[in-house]
A and B are shown apart, each in its own frame.
Chain A
Amino acid sequence: MATPTTVTTGAAPVGGHSILRMLAWIVPIAVLLVIAPWVIDPFQTLTLTYGLVAAIGALGFNLLLGYTGLLSFGHSAFFGGGAYTVAFMVKYFKIASMELFLAGSMLSSAIVSLLFGFVCVRYTRIFFGILTLALSQVLWSLAFKFFWVTGGTDGLRVPTPSLLGMAPSSDKMEFLAHNYYYYVLAIFAIAVVLMWVIVHSPFGKALQAIRDNETRAEFIGIRIRRYRLIAFIISGIFTGVAGALWAPLNGLASPDVLVWTFSGEIVFMTVLGGFRNFVGPIVGAIAFTYLKTYAVGFTVYWQLLLGVVLVALVLALPNGIMGAVEQVIAKMKRPGPSSRDGALT
């Protein structure tokens, strides 16, 4: 069932009017993000940086879930893979340039996602999920067992990198909360624009056609497996970049981001924001990061707390935060009992 609101996967034609309306949203948010480090304290800025990094990963993840209809439970392989690529470049090649880190992690996640994708895109639905999960665990078990290469459970240290050839300042907190924040923000902006272009391109439309009806999509000549594989690789690269940005921020590449439960967190944040919506994963990633940061600070049983939130979300708010927002907006526009947007599409 198609919801009357048109925002859903950007299926509506983007006319001049809606571009203006989009700008009315984007400009204030961009201004807020740019001035944020000067207004909020460094700890908050760091949390926000974590949120933006997670948002890049979730954006990549949602190309598969929201637009191609494939639920991956193995995106920790790309996120962790990106983080470990950075750590290896530091440890074995003595590289300190963030641009090289990004290039390296894009390459490594492209290779890993090509290999995984080759096997996984033959399947859909639950088999796809289990298969991605199992394959991502291969990487985790290797990182875990080859401790002399990967540091095992201790992980590998990642020092603050140089940005655009400029060496990091000596005050690490200051560096992360300002220079690094803007660096992440810039890459986040690029990622958002790129993903927007991808999902609104003919390629993105083809993915949505595959998601909605595989057989019909095949009839009109879309090579389903190849499209899925390409989507899988793009998705992997986005998440890999997120992992590479995460490593210097965290200061450590550890197996926690390779284990499959971390993939579950990526799924969680995407659904929290709403996976049927372009900005859903972004909102969800930032909200999840704050939620987790405060839950961890509040109690040792933070997993319990997050689990309860997830269960409640699935039961009461299946379309996530953005789904709920759309519903409220639709209700305000068309008052009356006829709005049944809560029903699942």
Chain B
Amino acid sequence: MGTIAVHILNALLYSSVLFLIAGGLSLIYGVMRIVNLAHGNIYAIGAFVTAWAIGLAVAADWPNAVMFVLLPVGAFAAAAVGAVIEVTFLRPIYKRPGDEYQLLMTFGLLMILEDLIRLIWGPNPLTATSIYATLGSLSIADARYPTYNVLIIIIGAVAALFLWAFIYRTKFGVLLRATSQDKRMASALGINVNRIYVQAFTLGCFMAGLGGAIVVPSQSAVLGMGVDALVLSFIVVVIGGLGSLEGALAGALIVGVVRETGITLFPEIELAVLYLIAAVVLLVRPAGIFGRA
């Protein structure tokens, strides 16, 4: 009983972090029609900044409560990086026909960010385990589960809820959806599309950064984590439907469950099974489960 509960919690843990990353990716695509290959690195920036901030707090011997306040620092840093990227590097290429240049540009940014992270924080992993250790663990029937992981799941769920409310219940959400459906029409109606773009990109990066920030106390920030996360979130958006947040949620849940079962039952082909699921979904429903063709 306890082990099953732990497995379910682990699956939810994966899903909530994946949802934050893939949801950001999907949001950016949905509004701007840009697939951001550097998105994984934005997630990594969130992780590294938070780990770095908490490391400083630990060194200064600050109380544990401060560290919870420092947790979202990574997300804000990621959002700031995103805002700079959109304005300086992406804006000049929107008018180019074809998708080649946006993929190349974001691939170039991937290479730059990957090495910048190494330049700033060095090649060694950064850890922020103090928060993780402070919270201890819960006992579920006969098993124990880290309390911090439950916190991640809750943050993921709350973020999904907030995002939904933000997009479907606020004025900004209306503008965002209008721009996403028809950019020229939105522009003709007086919406400042450039502003919506920078806001959407920043919001997407904030989500990825939040994913990195909340994950880092439970696992260390390592080089290459961004590229791995990017590929997983591609599977999520391909299954769920690129550009759809419901799809990102469904895809993240599917990938989370498959990964957790895969790691226990078929560790060798766990990733291959995920890609196969993505391929089958594409053959049956080309636009993904929630995608519009």
Contacts and interface: CB of A to CB of B under 8 A. Distances in A.
A145 interface: yes
Interface stretch (B9-17, B108-116, B178-186): B108-116
Contacts of A130: 35, 234, 237-238, 242
Interface string B237-262: 11000100000000000000000000
B190 interface: no
B115 A301 contact: yes
B279 A135 contact: yes
A125 interface: yes
B103 A304 contact: no
Contacts of B269: 142, 145
Given A141-B272, A145-B271, A267 B114 contact: no
Given A318-B101, A344-B97, A142 B107 contact: no
B101 A314 contact: yes
B275 A314 contact: no
A142 to B, nearest CB: 6
Given A138-B271, A314-B101, A261 B242 contact: no
A328 interface: no
Nearest to A315: B92
Nearest to B113: A307
A9 interface: no
B272 A268 contact: no
B42 to A, nearest CB: 15
B271 A119 contact: no
A309 B107 CA distance: 11
Interface in B218-242: 227, 231, 234-235, 237-238, 242
B286 A122 contact: yes
Given A126-B103, A129-B35, A318-B101, A141 B271 contact: yes
Given A126-B99, A135-B279, A145 B231 contact: no
Contact of A304 (B99, B119, B227, B242): B119
Contacts of A311: 89, 105, 108-109, 112
B171 interface: no
Contacts of A267: 103-104, 107
Interface SS, B side:
helix
A308 B113 CA distance: 10
A158 interface: no
A134 B238 contact: yes
Interface in A299-339: 301-304, 306-311, 313-315, 318
B110 A137 contact: no
B292 interface: no
B93 interface: yes
B282 interface: yes
B138 interface: no
B195 interface: no
A119 B282 contact: yes
B235 A134 contact: yes
Interface string A138-175: 10011001100000000000000000000000000000
Contacts of A261: 110, 227
Contacts of B234: 130, 133-134
A129 B234 CA distance: 11
B265 interface: no
A131 B276 CA distance: 11
A286 interface: no
B261 to A, nearest CB: 16
Contacts of A271: 100, 104
Contact of B99 (A125, A134, A141, A314): A125
A314 B101 CA distance: 6
B278 interface: yes
B97 A71 contact: no
A141 B275 contact: yes
A124 B80 CA distance: 33
Contacts of A302: 115
B142 interface: no
A81 to B, nearest CB: 15
A321 to B, nearest CB: 15
A247 B125 CA distance: 32
B115 A307 contact: yes
B107 A134 contact: no
Contact of A134 (B89, B92, B104, B231): B231
B104 A310 contact: yes
B96 A344 contact: yes
A134 to B, nearest CB: 6
Interface string B80-93: 00000000010011
A260 interface: yes
Interface in B259-293: 267-272, 275-276, 278-279, 282-283, 286
A306 B276 contact: no
B169 interface: no
A104 interface: no
B118 interface: yes
Looking at A65, A71, A307, A310, the one whose CB has the most chain B CB atoms below 10 A away is: A307
Given A119-B279, A134-B275, 14 more contacts: A71-B100, A119-B282, A125-B99, A130-B35, A134-B231, A138-B271, A138-B275, A261-B227, A307-B108, A307-B112, A313-B104, A313-B108, A314-B101, A314-B105
23 contacts: A65-B100, A71-B99, A119-B279, A125-B98, A126-B35, A131-B238, A133-B231, A134-B231, A138-B275, A141-B272, A145-B269, A264-B111, A267-B107, A268-B104, A271-B100, A303-B112, A307-B113, A308-B108, A310-B105, A311-B89, A311-B108, A313-B104, A315-B89
